[in-house]
C-alpha cells in the first residue's frame, strides 16, 4: 500500500464551494484518483481516470479487497452480524486485457454484478458496462465508485476525503448541531420579532439541505443551486 500522504494532505487544503455539477464531478474524480493511488499505488489522474479503469482489472481487484476486509471486520466484530457483508469473489482476467475487448467488458460486468448483489448498491447510483467502456455515462460510474468507497469505509477501509467529510457532517448532526442552530434561531426570534437573522437562517438552511440530500446523484444534480457543498480545493 502506498503512502497515505496524498489523501491526508488534502485535509489541510482550503475549502471552496462547488458552483456547478461539472465542478463537483471533477472534484469527485480528483478525490477518487488520490484514493485509488493511495490504496493500490496506481497512477490515476483526472485526465486518464476512465482510461486506467476501463479494463475492469483494478475494479475487480478492489472488489475482492473489500470482500477480504469486510470478512475480517465481521470476524473481529460480533455486532456486525446485522450488517451486509460482501463475500462472493469476483472472477476476472488480469493479463493481456485490451480496452474495449470482450474480456474487458466481462471484467466490468462482473464488477457491476458484485456491486448490485454483494453491496446492494441502488440502481440510481449504478452504471452499465458501456458507461465506462464507451464513456456513455461518466457521472454514474464516478457515483458508483464513491458509493463502493462509502460501503467499504463501514468495514474500516480508507475512504476518499469527500466520504470522510460526509461522515464528519453526519457526526456533527448526530451531536446536535442542527438542534443548536434551531434553538439559537428561536432565541433570536424571541428577542427580536423582526425579520429572520440572515446568518442563522442560512446556517439552518445549509443543514436542512444536507439532511435532505438522499444520495450523491441528487447532490450532483443540485450542486449548482446549493453552493454550500464544500470540498478540498
DSSP per residue, 20-83:
SHHHHHHHHHHHHHHHHHHHH-----STTHHHHHTTSHHHHHHHHHHHHHHHHHHHH-GGGGGS
Place of cell 466520504: 163
pTM: 0.71
Number of Cβ atoms within 10 Å of the Cβ of 54:
23
pLDDT at 63 over 80: yes
pLDDT digits (tens, 9 = 90+) for 65-117: 999 999 999 999 877 778 899 999 999 998 889 999 999 999 999 999 999 99
Please state the separation of Cα 130 from the chain's center in Å.
21
In CATH, the number for domain 22-160 is 1.10.418.10
2, three cell numbers:
502506498
Q: Where are the domains of the chain?
A: 22-160, 164-232
- What length does the chain have? 233
Q: How confident is the model at residue 6 (pLDDT cuts 50, 70, 90)?
A: very low
Residue 143 pLDDT more than 70? yes
φ, ψ (nearest 5 deg) of residue 227? -70, 0
In this prediction, residue 78 carries a pLDDT of 77
Half-sphere exposure of 60 (CA within 13 A, CB side): 22
Integer Cα distance of 218 and 140 in angstroms: 11
Cell numbers at residue 208, please?
436542512
pLDDT tens figures, 180-202: 666 666 666 565 544 444 444 44
Amino acid at each position: 500500500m502506498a503512502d497515505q500522504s496524498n489523501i491526508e494532505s488534502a485535509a489541510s487544503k482550503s475549502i471552496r464551494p462547488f458552483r456547478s455539477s461539472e465542478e463537483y464531478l471533477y472534484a469527485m474524480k480528483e478525490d477518487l484518483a488520490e484514493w485509488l493511488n493511495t490504496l493500490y499505488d496506481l497512477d490515476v489522474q483526472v485526465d486518464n481516470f476512465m482510461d486506467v479503469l476501463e479494463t475492469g482489472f483494478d475494479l475487480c481487484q478492489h472488489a475482492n479487497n473489500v470482500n477480504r476486509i469486510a470478512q475480517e471486520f465481521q470476524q473481529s466484530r460480533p455486532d456486525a452480524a446485522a450488517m451486509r457483508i460482501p463475500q462472493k469473489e469476483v472472477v476476472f482476467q488480469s493479463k493481456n486485457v485490451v480496452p474495449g475487448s470482450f474480456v474487458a467488458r466481462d471484467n466490468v460486468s462482473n464488477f457491476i454484478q458484485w456491486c448490485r448483489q454483494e453491496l446492494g448498491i441502488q440502481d440510481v447510483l449504478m452504471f452499465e458496462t458501456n458507461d465506462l467502456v464507451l464513456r456513455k455515462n461518466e457521472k454514474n460510474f464516478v457515483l458508483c465508485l464513491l458509493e463502493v468507497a462509502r460501503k467499504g469505509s463501514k468495514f474500516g477501509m480508507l475512504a476518499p476525503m469527500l466520504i470522510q467529510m460526509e461522515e464528519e457532517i453526519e457526526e456533527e448532526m448526530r451531536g446536535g448541531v442542527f438542534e443548536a442552530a434551531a434553538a439559537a434561531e428561536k432565541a433570536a426570534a424571541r428577542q427580536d420579532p423582526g425579520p429572520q437573522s440572515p446568518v442563522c437562517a442560512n446556517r439552518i438552511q445549509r443543514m436542512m439541505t444536507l439532511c435532505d440530500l438522499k444520495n450523491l446523484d441528487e447532490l450532483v444534480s443540485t450542486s449548482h443551486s446549493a453552493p454550500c457543498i464544500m470540498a478540498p480545493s
